[in-house]
Amino acid sequence: MSLSRWIGAAALAALAALSLLAVPGETDTRAGGTLTTGSAPSPALGGERIAYTAYLPYGYDRGAARHPVLYLLHGRGDTMQAWTRVKTVLDDLIRTKRIPPVIAVMPDAPWNGRGSWYVDSRHTGADLPGRPVETALARDLVAHVDGTYRTAPIREARLVGGYSMGGAGALRFALAHQDVFSAAAVLSPAVYTPLPPSDSSTRDYGAFGRGEEKFSEEVYRELNYPALLPGLDPDLPVRLFVAVGDDEYANPGPADARHDLDFESAALYNAARRSPAVSAQLRVMDGGHDWSVWTPAFEQAMAELGPGLSVTPPTGLPAPLHGTAAADWAGGVAAHADGSLTLGYAAGGSVNGQPHAGRLDAVLTRAGGWTRQLGTAADERLYGVAPLPDGGVLAAGYTKGDLDGRHAGNAADDAFVARLGPDGAVRWITQFGAPDAADRLYGLAAAPDGGAYVTGYTKGALDGPNAGDKDAIVARLTPAGELSWLRQYGGAGEDKAYGIAAGATTLYVTGSATAALPGTTALGGLDGWLAAFTAADGTRSWATTIGGGDDDRLNAVTVTTSGLAVATGASNGDAYTVAYTAQGRRRWHHTLATPSADEGAAATPLPGGEVQITGYTRGRAGVQAGGADVLTIRLDARGTQRAAAQLGTARDDAVDPFAEPNLYATATPGGQVAITGLTYGAPKGGTALGNGDVFLASADPA
């Protein structure tokens, strides 16, 4: 049996289910959504109208809400009635809240003897002259639907799907019209690379023809997906769900085995997933080239893609970004009493005319004021900026060079703390660490007297012998930059400290450990930990671990207005936050979980004992913008979630290529939370500087 005949047989099978179809011009009012018919004018077709069947979700006629729209393209030889069989699937998905209430539009495509392949044909033959079907449907029909129904005229609210020839059309629409569609359900797509087999019906109807020629290899290659993928815009991400049956038509000739649809679908998936603009999934279903595959595949596609549809556009990051055309990393933000902000980051080039010492330099910028760039020929990274009462700032991180002028020949990572005055002048830089061993600071808190509390790790021996691979360190610096005390805390494994917060008399420190720390029990994998130290001399008073058998860590900690130490990080791939009393008793814990990775990176105290957690998510806590988005969670004084949202670009935000958060947040005098972090995308209304930049945004915790 030829492929042309196989698709025709599938069409007859689809048309046989007449009990599920709406009578043209009438409305199906059975339980669930309704089916109705209509037609759309098409300027591309010279005024000819496009017939369609529309599915309207239950309650549409009584509501005022706007809805996402599915555009469902039928296979060759079928009609708009074929897709109506999924009405019950849509009813069930909406009723069980697996997808939002959607409108589904099922256009008829009679052109080129129902073999249009949903492209703008250049065939001018008298028997089956080509028509601009792609423009008619992807532009004219969409405009009509947005003007007729309560839709949202944004790409995030539109999904296109199709089977067989319609699967090829859905793929074409999603890739060639990124500004219109954000996702595609591509079922048993009749796409072939580099060219279709000799008996394929793609060659028969003029869809890929030119002039009198019904099929042009050049035209086919031009319109096929391999030609589209390299030119896709990563700032307009496309989500693809590709599905195919394991018993679909197999070409009898060994030379054409490459064109079996399961093989072609796998090739499509593997090509698409390598595009930075596409996220793709592939499913191989039981069944053949018919509705035994397409019905369950459609349900799975909608369950995966449907929750990402939104009538509200994602919240973007504000312009401008900070940094250079080279690699840049976020390093902290401080809010001052006068309402100004000081931004800290590591830059791979010169910023605001400051000299670039080499590789990465530490940069501090007062918004609307001064910029100070600190560096050596080696790398400097910032991991915290804190305000001082005089309007100056503290900054901490690590250097691989001689940053303070007293460590000539240094080639290992050393910890450093710097104090700058209100005018940006450097008051002092203190560099310290073990000779020939790595020492880094990852957390900073200002002391009431203008000194600093810092935390991080050492691979050396700074306070007695090293207990393992890396030990956590906690230190106090005086207002003059002298080390007052330093404590080393570690077990037999690799121990790091990431966050520090100062209470009235107690310091709270968070981190991760691969083995048991003194005073704790190992829970398996990487454990998160929280420890309390006296601020006066660094004596440890208690410590505890969180997590399970998987990797867990606590990245940040704050002290709420009610006196609780609230730490946040990740446990079992979810954003995890926990609160402890000053005596080390757990008061509450909170988990935000999506099917993808989520992690807390900063904790900011709010009035009334509440706290805002800022981190990242690769899932959906709000309207998804791209890969990893900035995540904000507001928790009340008892740890109950009051709100959650996300913002970002089409690419990764708030997380680095090593899957570690690069994000900081602080409360402002105006009642907002200032957030800074790493982004690989472009801000709203602006452009990216290149290779990873730093954003500065504000969020209203209310």
Tell me what pLDDT residue 254 has.
Answer: 76
Residue 57 above 70 pLDDT? yes
- Give, rounded to a whole angstrom, the gap between the first and last alpha carbons of the chain: 64
pLDDT exceeds cutoff 80 at 27: no
Helix (H, G, I), strand (E, B) or coil at 396: strand
Q: Where are the domains of the chain?
A: 3-308, 394-663
Strand order through the sheet with 380-387: 380-387, 393-399, 414-420, 426-432
Residue 702 has pLDDT above 90, yes or no: no
Q: How far is CA 148 from CA 43, 72, 107, 213, 664, in A?
A: 17, 18, 15, 39, 45
Is the pLDDT at 194 greater than 50? The verdict is yes
Mean per-residue pLDDT for 521-529? 95
Instruction: Sheet containing 471-477: give its strands across.
Output: 439-446, 452-458, 471-477, 483-489
Share of the chain above pLDDT 90, in %: 91
Yes or no: is domain 3-308 CATH 3.40.50.1820? yes
**Mean of pLDDT over the chain:** 93
pTM of the model: 0.88
Q: Is the pLDDT of residue 22 over 70?
A: no
Asked whether residue 12 carries a pLDDT value surpassing 60, the answer given is no
The 10 Å Cβ neighbour count of residue 65 is 11
Q: At 31, is the pLDDT very low, low, confident or very high (cuts 50, 70, 90)?
A: low
The total of other beta-carbon atoms located within 10 Å of residue 558's CB is 27
Q: What is the mean pLDDT of residues 429-451?
A: 96
The yes-or-no verdict on residue 465 having pLDDT over 60 is yes
| Structure-token pair, residue 257 | 């085995």
Q: What is residue 257's predicted lDDT score, i.e. its pLDDT?
A: 82
pLDDT tens figures, 339-395: 999 999 999 999 999 999 999 999 999 988 999 999 999 999 999 999 999 999 999
CATH number of 394-663: 2.40.128.630
Is the pLDDT at 61 greater than 60? The verdict is yes
Task: Give the DSSP H/E element, type plus range, for residue 458.
Answer: strand 452-458
> How far is residue 495's CA from residue 492's CA, in Å, rounded to a whole number?
9
Distance, CA of 649 to CA of 664 (rounded, Å) = 17
More confident residue, 23 or 545: 545
Asked if 57 contacts 70 with a C-beta cutoff of 8 angstroms, the reply is no
In angstroms, the Cα distances linking 463 to 429, 457, 460, 514, 544 are 21, 12, 9, 21, 22
* Separation of alpha carbons 75 and 22, rounded Å: 19
Predicted local confidence at residue 24, as pLDDT: 36
Contact (CB, 8 A) for 157 and 68: yes
